[in-house]
Amino acid sequence: MVQRIALTGGPCAGKTTALVRVLETLSEAGYLVGYCEETATRLISQGLNPRILGIEFQRLILREQLHAEDLMASGLAAYPGTNKRILVCDRGIMDVAAYTTPEEFEMLIKEMGFNRVALLDRYQWVGHLVTAADGAETFYTKTNNDARSESIEEARRLDKRTQEAWQGHPHARYAIIDNATDFDGKLRRLRAAMERGLGIAEALQIERKFVLEKPPHISAIPPHEEIEIEQAYLQNPGDIEDRIRKWRHRGGVLYTRTFKLPKEKPLTRIRREEPIMEREYYRLRGLRILEGLEPLGKHRFCFAYANQHCRLDVFTAPSHLIGMAVLEIEPLEAIDKVKIPSFIGSVTEVTDDARYTNRRLYEERAPASKQLHGGGWRFWRRK
């Protein structure tokens, strides 16, 4: 198998330098590494003008990117003697969505026989470097890239649009690296996030979790991706969490099985995840249903806020959880501060409270959450 990762971000984010470090890091970790250059810059340098071509330019990027990635992946797969092969992409397919309307992007990928979840799932990890125009303005420049013409305001807008384009990755392996440190620190945080995401270093789940007093109206949520999730938990010895999940997103469906192993601190757990076939999902799901528990259901809203990757879950099943809303924000490090989105309202942090794990909420008919909030959750209607 050839793994793929994408390095993306806004204009003047330090991507060119970061790519060199990424390639070096992966080579040192024993990977056979291939590199797929940025398609848009190559086409512009060859004389094509995106302002004149409009959507046709984005169609060309999609066609060229898909072909280049698949060609390089086939070449890497043909090499003998190693099982560690990886393709590093300077930007990925989803970047096109930042330069088109949602309707245009859906039309383009449908033309090529893809849906959004399939395109996101092509990449095992995605790193987003935030433009210097957001937090490091004195370092923003157009001189190091002939294809760059954006003003600071345009760079910020494109950075935000690119973050939005990558929301909804089925494995949550998406890291936003902002300008909270100097550039060397930015590169160190990128490397650490990539090593965790690919399993080079121990992958820890370090998300912060907050229960909302009430769910926000859907119209208040910023540009987002909405995913329908069904999941159930299987019996396993000890404190190992064994979960199966059905992930439905814009017509695409993905089935996965996840194992979470305990750590010394309640904030962190080791996570192992693998895709499974539809038949296997329903076989395992049947084992849980025989014990009298319906699957847990929720609508997940993935969005970017203040250079953070946020996930808002609103539960739709089982009956005792309907309308409950939980916000998860995954910082790069456990000690990082998080910013609660302004539209969320009152929240209670429950990161270290074992009563609020999905498994406990799922299995307990009268969970502590109802006692804390004085009665059942308000029924949430998307109107």
d(CA 115, CA 108): 10
**pLDDT 10s digit of each residue in the chain, 383 long?**
899 999 999 999 999 899 988 998 998 888 999 999 999 989 998 999 999 999 999 999 999 999 999 999 999 999 888 888 999 999 999 999 999 999 999 999 999 999 888 899 899 999 999 999 999 999 898 665 555 567 899 999 999 999 999 998 766 688 999 999 999 999 999 998 898 888 887 655 567 999 999 899 989 999 888 989 999 888 766 667 788 999 888 777 888 888 877 655 544 556 677 778 899 999 988 876 656 678 899 999 989 898 888 999 999 998 889 999 999 987 776 667 889 999 999 999 999 898 888 888 877 754 444 444 433 444 444 43
Buried/exposed code over 71-81 (b: 16+ C-beta within 10 A; e: otherwise): ebbeebeeeee
Under CATH, domain 205-372 is a member of which superfamily? Answer: Hypothetical Protein Pfu-838710-001 (2.40.320.10)
CATH number of 2-201: 3.40.50.300
> β-strand 308-317 against 325-329: which pairing, if any?
antiparallel
d(CA 183, CA 17): 10
Q: What share of residues in the chain are helix, strand, coil (percent, to 5)? A: 35, 25, 40
**Residue 242 contacts residue 235 (beta carbons within 8 Å):** yes
Please report the pLDDT score of residue 263 as a whole number.
59
**What is the residue extent of each domain of the chain?**
2-201, 205-372
**Residue 326 contacts residue 210 (beta carbons within 8 Å):** yes
Two structure tokens written together for 325:
């809303």
For the purposes of burial, counting CB atoms within 10 Å of the CB of 323, is it exposed (0-12), middle (13-18) or buried (19 or more)?
middle
Please report the pLDDT score of residue 360 as a whole number.
83
